[in-house]
Structure 1
Amino acid sequence: MDLTLALVIGVVIVALIFDYTNGFHDAANAIATSVSTRALTPRAALFMAAAMNFIGAHLGTQVAQTVGKGIIDAPQGTHGLVVVCAGLIGAITWNMVTWYFGLPSSSSHALIGGLIGAALASASLVHWDGVVEKVVIPMILSPLVGFTLASAIMIAIYWIFRKRQPGPTNRGFRYAQTVSAAAMALGHGLQDAQKTMGVIFLALVVGGYQNPNDPIPQWVILAAAGAISLGTYAGGWRIMRTLGRRIIALDPPQGFAAETAAATVLYGAAIGFGAPISTTHTITSAIMGVGATKRLSAVRWGVAGNIVSAWILTIPASALVAAVSYWVLHLIVE
C-alpha cells in the first residue's frame, strides 16, 4: 500500500470519527426539548433521532458540495491529505472540549474553522468569498431567523389556543412534538452528515481517487449517514441538559414551536442555498425566541451568554488546533 492510499484511508477514518462525535455532540439539538417536556423518553428520542439522521443524510448533497469544493483548495497528494486531516483533528478537538463543558457549540463551524486553520498553516488557498457567503452570513442570519420565526410561531400558538385549557393543550403538543422532533432530526442529518461527506470527497479528490466534478459516491453517503446515526444514538447528555433546562424551562407548546422553527431554517439553508449552517445555533436561538415571548426574564441570559461566547470562539479555536496539528503531521508524514 502506497503512502497516498494509506493517508486517504486514514483521513476517511478520521472524518467518520468526526461524524460520530458530531452525532453525540449534537444529539441534543434534535431531542432536548422533547425529552425536557417529557414528550419522549430519552432512549426513544435518541433512537428516533438516529433513524431520522440516517434518512436526512440521503436527502441532498448541496451542503457537501459547499464543504468539499467551496471552502479551501488543498494541494494534490500527500501534502493536501495532511491539510484535510489536520482540519478534522481541529474540529474533533473542539467538539470534545465543548462536549466536556456541556456547551452547545457548532460542529459545523468547528469543521470549517479546522479546514481554514490547516489551509492557512500550509499556505493553501482559502476561498474567502465562499467562507463569507456560505458560512459567515448564514452564521449570523440563521440564529436571527430562528429566534424570530420561533417567536412568531409561539405567539400564533398563544393566540390560537388562548381559550383552551392548559392540560389538554399540553397533552396535544406532546404528541405534536414527536413530529417536530423528527423533523428537527431529519434536518440535522440533511445538514451535518453532508459536511462529513464533503470532507471525505475532498480527501478523495486530493488523493487522486475522485474527479472534482463527479457526484458524491454512494458509499460515502452511507458511511457518513451511519456514523452520525451511531453517534446520535450514543447521546450527548451534558449538552441535552443545557438546551433542555438551563436556558429556559420548556413546556410542550414551546418545545414544538422551537423545533418547528429550527427545522424550517435547516431545510431552507440546505436545500435553498447549500449553506452549512449550525443546527446548534439554530435550535438554541429558537429556544431563546420562544422563551422571550413569555417574558424576557424567562430566558437565563447568563447561560445564553456563555453559549454565545462558545460560538464566537469556535472557528478561531478549531483553526488554531488545526494549524498546530498540521505542523506536527507535516513533520511526521512529509
Structure 2
Amino acid sequence: MAQQESTQTVDRELTMSRAMVEAIADEMRTNEEVFYMGEDVADYGGIFDSTQGLLDEFGHDRIMDVPISETAYLGAAVGAAQAGMRPIAELMFVDFFGVAMDQIYNQMAKNTYMSGANVTVPMVLTAAVGGTYNDAAQHSQTLYGTFAHLPGMKVVVPSTAYDAKGLMHNAIRDDDPVVYMFHKRLMGIGWMPAPDGPKTPVPEEAYTIPFGSADVKREGADVTVVTLGLHVHRALEAAETLAEDDIDTEVIDLRTLVPVDTDTILESVEKTGRLVVVDEDYRSYGVTSEIIARVAEADLASLEAVDRLAVPDVPIPYARPLENEVIPATDDIEDTVRAITS
C-alpha cells in the first residue's frame, strides 16, 4: 500500500527522470491497464529520458511509439481511458498541444462532465516544458497557465525527484485527467545539465504526494516567493544570496496548479507581508496574476508589497542572449525581492 509523503530515511539519490520512470514502472507492474504512448518513447526512451528502460521490461505492447499525429494518439488515449485503461500519453513538447486541442480540452477534460459522470477519463498527459536551451519559440514554452485555466484537468508541476515520483504515482491512480508537466532542465539528462537541487533522495517504496499540497522549500520571515518548476531552484539560489544581506526569504513550491494550495500561501504572506510570484509562463493572464489575485481577495490587509516576475508577452527568442533576457534569472529574483523589502 502506498504511503503519503514518505518519511523514510533514504541514502540513494535519483534524477528527476529516473524518479518518474521508477513510479511509472511500479504502477505498470501493479496494474496491467497502465501503458505509455508517445513519440520516441519506446526504442529511444524519450528524448528527455522520460521512459528510459521501460521498453526492456514491458515491451512494445505497453510502451508504444506512435506516428507524429498528436490528434490521433491523444484521441486514442482518451478512448482507452474511457474504456477502463489508464494510459499515459506524452506530448514531446507542450508547444504541440495546439495540434490536439480538441482531444485535450473538448474530450479529455470534458467527457466526464458531458456524460453526467457516466464515463471517467483516468489518463495522464505528460508534457515537456521550459526554455533555457535555445530551442526557439515553438519548443520552449511552459504554458502552465493555459492548462490550469481550462476546467476539467488537474495540473502537476514537479521540481525535484522526490516530488516527481510521488506526484506521478498519484497522477496515474487518479480517476480524473492529469496534466503532468516536467521541465526539461530539471530531468538530469547528460546533454542538458540540471541545476543543483532537482536530484534528491527518493525512497524505493511507492508513495503519493496529494494534489493541492504546496511545499515550503525554505522558511523565511521577510518575504514570500511563490514559484514552481525550474524557478524553485532559482528562487532558492537567490534566497541564499539575499540571506547574506539579512533578507530572510521564504520559498514556496506550488507543486500543483489544479488544485492550488492557497492556504499555505496565505499563511506565509500573513507572516512576511511581502509577496513575489515567479513563473516561466507568460506574464499576462497567467499564474503570477492568479496567485496575487487569490491573496488580495482573501487577505489584502496582510499585503504590504507585491511584485511578479514572468516571461514578457513575446515568443521565446532563439538567440541565447535574448532568451536569457526574457526568462527570469536568479539575479532578477534577487533584484525584485530587494526592491519590495527596501
Greater helix percent: which structure? 1
Greater strand percent: which structure? 2
Structure possessing the higher relative contact order (Cα contacts under 8 Å, 6 or more residues apart): 1
Q: Same fold (TM over 0.5)?
A: no
TM-score bracket for the superposition, by shorter chain length: under 0.3
- Name the TM-score, length of structure 2 as normaliser: 0.26
- Name the TM-score, length of structure 1 as normaliser: 0.26
